[in-house]
Structure 1
């Protein structure tokens, strides 16, 4: 009894009443019978289309295989032999006609001889010799000018007399001789492999050194001529026109104290003339300097035209105003033209870093017979 009386007096009892549980299936979609029928029809239609497609593919594959078999069958060759020609009976020849009797020929009449004077008068007179033609006169004149020269040669007309043609042989036979001192000879065409010890910059002519990395032997391979570590000394003139720099190596010093004088060019690893390096044409500097000076000139011209005094000219009732011409702008424009000319005349720069592997082509035979005993 006491609890029932205290319950209505509690003001928080209504806040803690349990709410009704929500129905989750209330908003679930449901299919009607008409929709089920439509879905069944669509499914049957798609199933029928798939079955028809499979049947068509099966028929196409079977017919294709049959056609291939028909094409693969070899054709039968039928050999037909023509019948022998039948003998034809020719009609009999007509009887030969009797030879006709020869007709008597009349006796030949003697031909009367004409008198000598009449025969001479009847004979036509020979034509008078005509003068030489224009072509003959020109040929005779050319023969007179040339004198007692040899007959005309088609090679002389072509202007190639004295030049050796690919098929011509020299009149003087060449002689073969044995190489002198093959044990101590470094023949022409030898490659010397070395590594650059100094950096090459083609802007200014300079000198360079290179260290041999592979030993060089004599012609027959019996004698060591240039040991590993030999130093090559060379020079370059600068001012290249392409991406290669021409370096001439004129001296070799071996670790054993042998000094070799030669003049041989540097080549790349495939034998191309010159040493390839980093090519810089200075296009950025060429365009940048001229563009900067031109912008300054345009700025001065604009300021002079906008804020400078104007020259007013009145002629025949017409008033003409000429903008102010700045001498500073003209001077800057001249500087821009000069910068463009100097940049255009600047040669490109080829840079070859130290440590680059290069080759030297020996251009003449070098005989080590006088110093090989010291090595």
Structure 2
């Protein structure tokens, strides 16, 4: 037998061939890519960071320089314009004293648009003081007043037009005699307005001239609670306590402090049958001490919690007091009549209860007449809430003065 040695070039497996191919491809890719070195101690991601630029800083500096240039240029331009105007005024010079300016005739054309004020009297000089023969003005043709025509219908249109012409006449210049007759003309115009109630009238508007921080406006609702029990049988005074602060019209200044007492009056018999509210009139307010103030109230009425006029409470109509006695007497009369009818052998001559029954009926009638007019009674307990509705503006400018409060951070 002959011994054979194994062949030196044995065939490679598929896995070995695939590993060699992968190595060759990796070597080829590594040779093509540029070599990039990462600084020591830095992560691999720092290789992809873009180089820092100074574009933002340059843009900011250029913008700042442009703004400074615009500011300096604007100041220089305004100064040049002002100097030019001053030179023009100096070159013009003051007007000469000998040259008379033409008078202006269009001043104050809108000062008296509705002819509400009397025209000014023309000045009298030596030239026009001499008597002149002035021809009377020609009569103004009648003008149709459409408002009066619509108000009065088809009648009296000519008279209305004539009155309109008469009212337009005072706008012309008049002499002293015409000025003296002005009150009579005003009364004539007032009578003419009353004759035509459908014609629109001019209503004057005035300012209050009140400091909004120092007055309480009209129709301001102020809640208060009853201090004592209220019974309306006897007229007299009542009082209530204001339990919250009342501020001015601007809601910035406290004018009436909490604890102020309101005093009012009421009359006997003001509450009638079928009504559930009583009229009460407030007369004054008293602020608490120290520095107590007496605040008079004018046309100030009591109101409910929602502003309704009058105060409401529990009302006793006195029904049994008014009708109980009459019902009792009527019942007694009916019982006597029933007893007399049930008696046997009764006739007109033997009915001895007739006079008693007639007297009882008369007594019941008199009792009803005396008690039917008893007025109802209203009751209010302590602590019930009622309201005060101011009737006029209450001005505190003569009592209080305002000053600016210094803040703690401004000291």
TM-score, normalization by structure 1: 0.50
Give 1 or 2 for the bigger CA radius of gyration.
1
Higher-RCO chain (CA-CA 8 Å, sequence separation at least 6): 1
TM-score normalised by length of structure 2: 0.46
